[in-house]
């Protein structure tokens, strides 16, 4: 079983939950009305074949601490190890997206080029839509080539709020 931890980031960000294995954080969700909702959504996205132990508890606690600092506006990067499961293409997209720094943006096309698949920008968007670690793997920092938001699984208002928190909202040309 995974180690799951939940926390309340306050009225603006809501409840969030993380899951970890001994390898790293493997699932996250945020913006929920209560602890029960956050836990239920997290369980739906987890790979049941992954398990946890004492090390996973430490990783989950570290992830909670880093997320609380992030949501309070401290501008932290994430240092917790991550354990990504998915296709080779998805993992490549998520790993490249993880390199997009706080306060900066990349486009779906730039991510596609960086992973050696320059025409796969739509597939990059689909992979980001399956990101099991939103915020930790910062898919909200990836926008369309025309400077518009593109998409976001949690909805564009959440993407807008995250970019505003990071001070990069002014770089987006809303359509």
**139 catalytic residue (yes or no):** yes
Mapped onto helix, strand or coil, the DSSP state of residue 142 is: strand
The pLDDT tens digits for 90-100 are 999 999 999 99
Instruction: Tell me: pLDDT of 53 over 70.
Output: no
Q: Do 96 and 162 fall within a single domain?
A: yes
What average pLDDT is seen over the chain? 91
How many domains are there within the chain? Answer: 2
Q: 65 and 119 share a domain? A: no
Of 135, 89, 85, whose CA–CA distance to 111 is shortest? 89
Of 11, 36, 71, which closes a domain?
Answer: 71
Query: What's the CA gap between 3 and 168, in Å, rounded?
Result: 33
pTM, 2 dp: 0.91
As a whole number of angstroms, the distance between CA 54 and CA 120 comes to 40
Tokens of 55: 């090390």
136 within domain boundaries: yes
109-125 core/surface letters (b: 16 or more CB in 10 A; e: else):
bbbbbbbeeeebbebbb
Q: Which of 139, 142, 165, 172 is catalytic?
A: 139
Q: What domain range is 140 assigned to? A: 88-171
């Amino acid at each position: 079983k995974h180690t799951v931890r939940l926390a309340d980031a306050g009225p603006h960000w809501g409840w969030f939950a993380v899951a970890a294995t001994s390898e790293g954080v493997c699932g996250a969700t945020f913006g929920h009305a209560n602890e029960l909702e956050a836990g239920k959504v997290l369980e739906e996205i987890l790979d049941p074949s992954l398990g946890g132990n004492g090390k996973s508890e430490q990783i989950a606690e570290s992830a909670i601490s880093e997320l609380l600092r992030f949501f309070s506006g401290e501008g932290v990067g994430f240092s917790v190890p991550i354990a990504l499961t998915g296709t080779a293409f998805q993992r490549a997209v998520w790993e490249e997206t993880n390199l997009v720094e706080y306060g900066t943006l990349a486009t779906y096309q730039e991510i596609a080029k960086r992973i050696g698949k320059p025409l796969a920008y739509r597939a990059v968007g689909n992979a980001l839509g399956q990101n099991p670690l939103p915020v930790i793997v910062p898919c909200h920092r990836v926008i369309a080539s025309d400077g518009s938001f593109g998409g976001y699984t949690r909805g564009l208002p959440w993407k807008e709020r995250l970019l505003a928190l990071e001070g990069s909202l002014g770089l987006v040309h809303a359509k």
